[in-house]
Structure 1
Amino acid sequence: MLFLKSIFGEDDIVSRELRATLTGLDPEYARRLADALNRYLANLHVVYIKLRNFHWNVVGVDFIDFHEKLAELYEEVALEIDRIAERIKMLGFFPLASMREFVCYATLQEAPSAPYNTPTIAYAVASDFAATARYLREVDEFVRETTDEFTIDLIAEALGFLEKHVWFFTAYLERMGYAAPKGSQ
């Protein structure tokens, strides 16, 4: 009967602990990881909204290139949001799912609606992606103390995505004669 109750969500704690036990994960590790991934998820949502904002409000000579690149990026970030939310569910926890939660839990700042030139956008995206990569490296250290290969791979893939775009946007800034954001090298 306990198993049936957990399937129907009547006892999330039992379900969570059972899932962790069946998958070989320590329940306390699963809780801490879900919390860390929820912070990453919140930051991804802030990044997603910023990318949409920049996509709609980009101005300047590189308008078309940036407009298209930002659309590609927010679509890729949306896929990452889904992957992370699903991992949190696999761990037996609820992913954050409201704007209030995202803003409260995120370490990144929102950007107001306004016109943005391409160097400003490049600087903001490189800064946010670099900060997110630094945070994920901390999570990665924690995860590597376990045998959670799935999450190790998930983080490695995310770091590759983030670092590639830090490189792209800092290269653009350098080509345009601007200094790259601190912490993005």
Structure 2
Amino acid sequence: MAVSHYQFEAIHPFHDGNGRAGRVINILMLIEAGLLRDPILYLSRAIIAHKNDYYRLLRAVTAEDAWVEWILYILEVVRESATSTTRKISSIRTCQNDIADRARDATAGGRDARFLAVLFEQPYCRISTVVERCEVSRQTASGWLHSLVSAGLLRDVKVGREILFVNHEFLHVLTRSE
């Protein structure tokens, strides 16, 4: 993967969008090699955090044939990203379990696995999504969601004519650095 990434950057040296494309290729290579099941590893954060090293080491491969340093750098990026991703997944699971426990006390919908899954598909949901995924009436879906708002688990936000139900705890987990 490190060698392919270098080759991609060397033959396609554009600053706008090139890095993102290269990082997508990295993820696809990890999946193809059976080292990653789902494309959930976010390499960009670690690369951007060490951007000067990234460009310095890319140039060193071209100028000095410094492959060892480049490969060690990429391995460290993967290690750092995997550690961060593992922590993020753990935080999401903790949040899911905590909200599930509190949702069971707040509404009958809190015992519905499909409803709980909807709350974590995105950091917000709509009544129509609950109706569709949980196969319940609009009135039932609305009742479940408003019960979670009353319990402090969700916040309702009016956007145009629609109400979005924001899972603020999940949103916080998604947006904080791990």
- Between structures 1 and 2, the one with greater strand share: 2
Q: TM-score, normalised by structure 1?
A: 0.31
Higher CA-based Rg: 2
